[in-house]
Amino acid sequence: MTQEVAALYTGILEQVVRLEKSKKKLSKQILISKDNRNKLELIYKFLSYELNKHELFEQAAVVALTNKEKFVISHLGCLYEPFGNGEVIDQIRKEISYTRRFMQVMEKNKSEPASTSFTERRMAKEISKYVLAQCRIYMQLHI
């Protein structure tokens, strides 16, 4: 692996670790929050950290594919293996797409609750449950 790609990937991994630590701190706030509006804002912030993580991994994947760095591609493949088979870059981009859609729904639910449809309200509820489950997992981690 070339030094430039190794340095870039190491830098991306360090940024991801910082994001994960921020998500852990935010998880505690989400779990103890009683105010629904505040909780929606915190969940949106959690999703934005998740989006940033996937975008960083996308950058790493693009550089690795451009430079034909099999180690980085393999490592990213291991990180995204639970999300399905296929090209790593496609898996990462699917996660980015899903996260953006989740953020759109949460934003609309937060800013325009009266204009949300039944489906959007239901989706926001499911996204909230998903994030709360993630928060519980983060609280068990020692990062």
What distance in Å separates the CA atoms of residue 28 and residue 72, rounded to the nearest whole number? 32
Question: pLDDT by residue (tens digit) across 91-129?
Answer: 999 999 999 999 999 999 988 888 999 999 999 999 999
Tokens of 6: 């190794």
pLDDT value of residue 125: 95
Tally of structural domains, the chain? 1
| Residue carrying structure tokens 């998903």 | 130
How deeply is 115 buried, as exposed, middle or buried, from its count of CB atoms within 10 A (0-12, 13-18, 19+)?
Answer: exposed
16, 29, 41, 104 from 110: Cα distances, Å: 27, 17, 7, 10
pLDDT value of residue 85: 67
What distance in Å separates the CA atoms of residue 92 and residue 66, rounded to the nearest whole number? 16
Q: Are 54 and 91 in contact, with CB atoms under 8 Å apart?
A: no
Residue 17: domain span: 3-140
pLDDT value of residue 142: 80
What distance in Å separates the CA atoms of residue 70 and residue 62, rounded to the nearest whole number? 12
pLDDT value of residue 84: 62
pTM attached to this predicted model: 0.91
Q: Are 108 and 120 in contact, with CB atoms under 8 Å apart?
A: yes
Tokens of 143: 């990062």
Q: Are 61 and 79 in contact, with CB atoms under 8 Å apart?
A: no
**What is the pLDDT tens value at each position of the chain, 143 positions in all?**
788 888 999 999 999 999 999 999 999 999 999 998 899 999 999 999 999 999 999 999 999 999 999 999 999 988 888 766 668 999 999 999 999 999 999 999 988 888 999 999 999 999 999 999 999 999 998 87
Q: Are 97 and 85 in contact, with CB atoms under 8 Å apart?
A: no
